[in-house]
Amino acid sequence: MIKDLSPIDKAKYVAACRAADLVQDGMRVGLGTGSTAAWLVRRLGERVRGEGLTIKGVPTSTATAQLAREEGIEVISLDQAGWLDLTIDGADEFDGEFNLIKGGGAALLQEKIVATASDQMVVIADAGKEVETLGAFPLPVEVIPFGWQTTRTLIEEALDTMDVLGTSVTLRMNGEAPKVTDEGNHILDLHLKRIGNARQLALVMNQIPGVVENGLFIDICDKVIVGYGDGRVELRDLNEGTVLTDMLSEGGDNLFSDLTD
């Protein structure tokens, strides 16, 4: 299978496979949203069907919930789970301190709630998502529909006082209509180019009336699994300060061997 994938899809696939190996029988697992997370859900489905793996999945979007059910994964709500052993999700950007920008799939609210209700959060991403400084990817901010234009104006005014390079704010569209999240809200994308102080920006954004949540994930992620187009995959542990490098075999879908610590 892996040899038939494009380099970018191969990178996502190997990261997802490596992350799936972290899931143990009986775990309650947060399932992320997006193209990389979809590979994870499919791989977990393979383990459920092939190995008899028993897990309870808490999806972060209706799309992920549907895919998980199709793959034979038991789906429960976060309220039913109470607390999660692990959440695995993608990211639009991550920096050296494992701070993230998420929300490209418009699921940032559920993603942040699920991630913070977990013993640990693992991010899976291709190498292109790593940045020195966050901000090249537009920062999503979820806002309620009522008075969203006023909220946008307040955001623009706040950005004038922030350490960012850009202050353009656009409403995310779905064809001719605004994009609607699973919670019935809108998404404003902040085109900042560079975020000098992500922690400060996250706090300021969430103080603005009409803002539900922002796509900056600060001090939430514990591990990042980075996939490469040649089949290499790195597991980086922020708390341990370690990097494990593995290789996915061309001859099998899930044959890893440790190469370096």
Active centre residues (catalytic): 111
**Sheet of 100-101: strands edge to edge?**
93-94, 100-101, 216-217
- The Cα 17–Cα 41 span in angstroms is 10
Answer yes or no: is 89 a known binding residue. yes
- The Cα 163–Cα 65 span in angstroms is 38
Answer yes or no: is 102 a known binding residue. yes
Answer yes or no: is 34 a known binding residue. yes
Q: What are phi and psi of 22, to 5 degrees?
A: -80, -15
Answer yes or no: is 147 a known binding residue. no
Answer yes or no: is 105 a known binding residue. yes
Answer yes or no: is 223 a known binding residue. no
Name the amino acid, one letter, at 213.
E
CA–CA distances in Å: residue 143 to residues 24, 49, 75, 147, 192: 37, 40, 27, 9, 18
Answer yes or no: is 52 a known binding residue. no
Alpha carbon 27 to chain centroid distance?
19
Answer yes or no: is 92 a known binding residue. yes
Answer yes or no: is 103 a known binding residue. yes
By DSSP bridging, strand 100-101 and strand 173-174 are: unpaired
Answer yes or no: is 35 a known binding residue. yes
- The Cα 3–Cα 12 span in angstroms is 13
- Binding site for substrate: residue ranges? 33-36, 89-92, 102-105, 129
- Binding site: residue ranges? 33-36, 89-92, 102-105, 129
